[in-house]
Every structure is written in structure tokens, then in C-alpha cells.
Copies of this chain bind each other. A is one copy, B any other.
Amino acid sequence: MPVDLELAPKQKRPAGDPCCEPVAYPDVEREQATRLANVAKAIGDPVRLQLVDVLRKHAGKVCVCELVPLFDISQPTLSHHLKKLREAGIVDSERRGLWAYYYVNPEALEDLSRWLS
């Protein structure tokens, strides 16, 4: 049964008894929604949210070895979370000698922030 998806498709329903007004497609289209959702998903973990919180205050000045003791997780797990944040474009890193320094890329969060408000 082909369904007209362009606008609110009206099912068969007692005439004169519409359950609601017609609904248009979301303003946020699938592609943009996926992008925003990916950012939201990335901060959808308490550890990662706190990581972003720390990095926003100490951008470029905190090495990973200082971050590990702040959380009750192993170093590889923290590295995994940082990778997730990197993949979502929320943070980026820079190596100086032995150490790696992470910083927040503010633009990534701006889109989501704009959509929320």
C-alpha cells in the first residue's frame, strides 16, 4: 500500500474526526539530524561529558596522564573515550614529546547548542 509521504498522509478515519492537524516533515532533515545526533551521542556518556568539561577549562594544557586519575577507569578506556570524542569532531589532540594534549573544538558543539536553544 503506497503511502504519500510528501505531507501529512491522511489515513482512512471517520470523516470529520481528524485526530490532529497535519504534520510537516521535521525542519531538521535526516542528514543534519544524523550529524547533530552523533555529537549528542558522543557526549551521551558521563565520562566523556566530564572530559569535555575539563578540556574546556584547560584546553591544550592537560596531558592524558593527568586525566586518568580523575576517573575510575583504566588508561585504555580513557583513550577509547578520547577517540570517540575525536571521531565526533568535538576534540582534537596534539603531541608534544612524550605527551598528548587534547583541546575542545568549539564549533562542533555550537551546532547542537544552536539547535537546542
| Residues of A bordering B, CB below 8 Å | 3, 5, 8-9, 11, 19-28, 30, 33-34, 36-38, 40-46, 48-51, 53-54, 57-58, 61-63, 65-67, 69-70, 98-99, 101, 109, 112-113, 116-117
B20 contacts A61, C-beta separation under 8 Å: yes
Q: Which of A44, A48, A57, A101 has the most CB of B within 10 A?
A: A44
> Which B residues touch A49, using CB under 8 A?
28, 33, 36-37, 40
Distance, CA A99 to CA B70, complexed state (A):
49
A63 contacts B19, C-beta separation under 8 Å: yes
A37 contacts B27, C-beta separation under 8 Å: no
> Which B residues touch A45, using CB under 8 A?
37, 41
Distance, CA A73 to CA B40, complexed state (A):
21
B109 contacts A23, C-beta separation under 8 Å: no
